[in-house]
């Protein structure tokens, strides 16, 4: 920034004579002042007119520690969101909601203004127990003899400082949980259900990765995380989700190879698997699904499938939304679809199905998180209609979407449900 | 909507500005403005480091404070030119989208279309950060004087 503004010769420049005069009239003891006085000026006449374009080009953005660090390090922040969404501000890994905060005070921004210690040749005195005004009052009252000050005027220098602008508002930034649901909703429009069904897809609804990212109200890290959560796959240049039934067929096809090849669960061979499905499943899909479901066993270079993910996709396929099964029969059916050695576990079913062990015949009914209302109260109503009392792990997957950095699952439950303890287990029941 | 970015062109050596927080508005008499040009007022500090602001016929006593919300960034809107690579990339993507396009236009379609085609012409540059402010939160005292102004 410019150190000194340039002045037209015809414009007024603060001088010692006028400064002395005003100090005398203000009855300030000038001996109590530091050596440098700073005179403030408007930079441009246009800045006085709040309607001018130049003025609105400047904004004040509130920063928390995280934003301050990102900005100082030179990292790029991004305003983003869809055409009809609220604007949010993203760092590489966090998302902030932006609001305009009106102020009744004037916020005057002055570039390179000197703070007190830089204007004093001697160290500043420490205030007497913070009672600044008293000391000032005293100095004011004690000062009556005019004329005598002229001789020992302590102010040595007047610096001329143009102000940048006066603000009456600023942009307030509050960290929020990003709206990643939209990613899933958009991709749901074009579920991939095998090459033979591709002609049914509305091509105009397809999104490239970049297009989807730009319209999503979240940071790059949060975007990537969500793509992994929903297992998005790049097919022919566009991001897609697989139809559950299709995904189920792909996964069973792959896991069946375990028995066929008499592999141990941690001896899955990626190359053999991908070769075996060639011609049946397009390679980009097979390889993406393999990467989502399997992790490399570092010692051997072989892979093993995630038991939880395999169990989930099988359970989801058996357990259609709204259907009710005898629990035993359901577990048996699922077990039949699993490769040898994998076991279906009730905890894998949270967020997919609701288990009811209280009735005479234990049962499970399908309830998929993604199909529930996006309004918290409606969703809770729906949940408690399905089942009277829930444990925390059972209900968490259904409420996770409503949590924020400041409001976790337990806070949500505390606010909207009642809890009771029965046989040492804590349950959550409806408030009404 | 394609993102509008905020960028700091001078990493790790940003200027630091100071904020004066003044109750009410900075009012200037219009005749004074004409006669005195762009001059606003004088800022002095006493030996305790407390700021004193004299504006027109008012004197304000204040305090130096760290900003309680950690600070502000002063950002400025600037126009940016469309660079060639970007243009080409967008053009290619439009082709992908259009070769497969057909007649039906839903709300989603048009939104996405607009989103795909609009390229922001602006970005924000960080001029400085603000970490400290001088707060003048007491009523201004009038400067009473019967003396004619010395100039």
Model confidence pLDDT, tens digit, residues B24-60 = 776 654 444 444 457 888 899 988 888 999 888 888 9
Q: pLDDT higher for A15 or A77?
A: A77
At residue B90, the pLDDT reads 56
Contact yes or no for A158/A37 (Cβ under 8 A) = yes
Mean pLDDT of A260-286: 92
The reply to whether A8 falls in a domain is no
The reply to whether B22 falls in a domain is yes
Residue A152 shares a structural domain with residue A72: yes
Mean pLDDT of A93-98: 92
Three-class DSSP labels, A298-315: CCCCEEEECHHHHHHHHH
Residue A364 shares a structural domain with residue A419: yes
Residues of chain A with Cβ-Cβ distance to B61 below 8 Å are: 132-133, 136
Residue A167 shares a structural domain with residue A227: no
Q: CB B97 to CB A42 under 8 A?
A: no
Residue A56 shares a structural domain with residue A199: no
Quote the ipTM score.
0.76
A202-217 residue pLDDT tens: 888 899 998 888 888 8
A136-173 residue pLDDT tens: 554 444 444 444 444 466 788 888 888 888 889 999 99
As a residue count, chain A comes to 432
Q: pLDDT higher for A45 or A187?
A: A187
The total number of structural domains that make up chain B: 1
The reply to whether B103 falls in a domain is no
The reply to whether A71 falls in a domain is yes
Residue A73 shares a structural domain with residue A205: no
Mean pLDDT of B103-118: 49
The total number of structural domains that make up chain A: 3
The reply to whether B48 falls in a domain is yes
Mean pLDDT of A330-345: 89
Residue A122 shares a structural domain with residue A269: no
Mean pLDDT of A280-309: 93
Residue A268 shares a structural domain with residue A350: no
Residue A156 shares a structural domain with residue A281: no
Q: In sequence order, what are the beta bridge partners of B53?
A: B43, B60
- Structural domain of residue B42, as residue ranges? 6-80+120-142
Q: What is the CATH number of the domain that holds B32?
A: 2.60.40
Q: CB B23 to CB A125 under 8 A?
A: no
pLDDT band for position A179 (cuts 50, 70, 90): confident
The reply to whether B148 falls in a domain is no
Which of A98-102, A400-404, B25-29, B131-135 shows the lowest per-residue confidence on average (mean pLDDT)?
A: B25-29
Residue A138 shares a structural domain with residue A195: no
B59-70 residue pLDDT tens: 899 999 998 778
The reply to whether B97 falls in a domain is no
Which of A50-64, A378-392, B121-135, B137-151 shows the lowest per-residue confidence on average (mean pLDDT)?
A: B137-151
Residue A121 shares a structural domain with residue A252: no
Dihedral Cα B104, B110, B114, B115, nearest 10 deg: -110
Residue A152 shares a structural domain with residue A75: yes
The reply to whether A315 falls in a domain is no
The reply to whether A59 falls in a domain is yes
Q: CB B5 to CB A79 under 8 A?
A: yes
Count residue pairs from A and B with Cβ separation < 8 A. 283
Closest CA to B76 of A161, A167, A328, A397: A167
The reply to whether A425 falls in a domain is yes
DSSP assignment of A24-57, as one string? HHTT--GGGB-SEEEEEEES-GGGG-TTSHHHHT
Residue A134 shares a structural domain with residue A204: no
- Structural domain of residue A92, as residue ranges? 16-171
Mean pLDDT of A176-200: 88
Please tell me if residue B86 touches chain A, with a CB cutoff of 8 Å. Answer: no
- In three-state secondary structure terms, B76 is strand
The reply to whether A317 falls in a domain is no
């Amino acid at each position: 920034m410019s150190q000194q503004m340039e002045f037209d010769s015809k414009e007024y420049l603060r001088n010692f004579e006028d400064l002395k005069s005003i100090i005398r009239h203000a009855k300030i003891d000038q001996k109590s002042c530091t050596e440098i006085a700073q005179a403030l000026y408007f930079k441009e006449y246009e800045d006085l007119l709040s309607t001018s374009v130049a003025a609105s080009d400047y904004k004040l953005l509130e920063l928390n520690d995280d934003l301050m660090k990102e900005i100082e390090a030179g990292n790029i922040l991004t305003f983003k969101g869809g055409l009809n969404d609220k604007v949010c501000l993203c760092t590489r890994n966090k998302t902030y909601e932006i609001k305009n905060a009106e102020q009744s005070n004037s916020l005057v921004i002055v570039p390179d203004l000197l703070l007190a210690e830089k204007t004093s040749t001697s160290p500043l005195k420490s205030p007497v127990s913070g009672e600044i005004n008293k000391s000032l009052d005293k100095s004011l009252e004690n000062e009556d003899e005019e004329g005598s000050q002229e001789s020992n005027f302590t102010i040595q220098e007047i610096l001329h400082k143009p102000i940048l602008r006066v603000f009456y508002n600023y942009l307030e930034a509050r960290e929020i949980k990003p709206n990643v649901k939209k990613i899933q909703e958009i991709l749901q429009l074009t579920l991939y259900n095998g090459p033979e069904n591709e002609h049914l897809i509305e091509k105009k609804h397809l999104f490239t990765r970049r297009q989807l990212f730009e319209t999503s109200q979240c940071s790059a890290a949060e975007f990537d995380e969500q793509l992994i959560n929903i297992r998005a796959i790049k097919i022919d240049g566009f991001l897609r989700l697989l139809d559950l039934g299709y995904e189920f067929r792909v996964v069973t096809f792959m896991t069946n190879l375990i028995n066929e090849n008499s592999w141990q669960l941690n001896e899955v061979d990626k190359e053999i698997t991908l070769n075996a499905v060639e011609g049946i499943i397009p390679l980009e899909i097979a390889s993406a699904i393999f990467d989502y479901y399997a992790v490399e066993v570092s010692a051997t270079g072989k892979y093993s499938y995630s038991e939880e993910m395999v169990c989930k996709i099988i359970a989801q396929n058996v357990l259609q939304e709204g259907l009710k099964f005898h629990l035993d029969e359901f577990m048996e059916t699922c077990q039949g679809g699993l490769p040898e050695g994998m076991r279906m576990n009730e905890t894998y079913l949270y967020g997919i199905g609701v288990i009811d062990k209280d009735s005479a015949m234990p049962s499970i009914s399908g309830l998929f998180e993604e199909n529930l209302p996006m309004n918290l109260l409606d969703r809770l109503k729906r949940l408690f209609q399905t089942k009277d009392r829930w444990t925390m792990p059972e209900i968490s997957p259904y409420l996770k979407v409503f949590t924020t950095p400041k409001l976790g699952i337990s806070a949500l439950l505390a606010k909207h449900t009642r809890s009771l303890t029965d046989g040492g287990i804590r349950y959550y029941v409806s408030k009404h | 909507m394609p993102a509008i970015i905020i960028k700091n062109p001078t990493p790790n050596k940003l200027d630091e500005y100071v904020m004066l927080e003044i109750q009410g508005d900075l009012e200037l008499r219009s005749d004074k403005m004409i006669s005195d040009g762009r001059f606003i007022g004088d800022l002095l500090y006493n030996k305790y480091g407390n700021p004193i602001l004299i504006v027109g016929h008012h004197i304000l006593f204040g305090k130096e404070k760290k900003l309680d919300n950690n600070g502000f960034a002063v950002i400025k809107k600037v126009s940016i030119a469309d660079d060639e690579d970007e243009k080409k990339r967008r053009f290619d993507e439009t082709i992908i989208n259009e070769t497969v396009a057909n007649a039906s236009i839903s709300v989603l379609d048009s939104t996405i279309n607009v989103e795909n085609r609009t390229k922001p012409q602006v970005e924000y540059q960080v001029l400085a950060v603000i970490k400290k402010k001088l707060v003048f939160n007491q009523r201004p005292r009038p400067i009473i004087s019967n003396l004619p102004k010395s100039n």
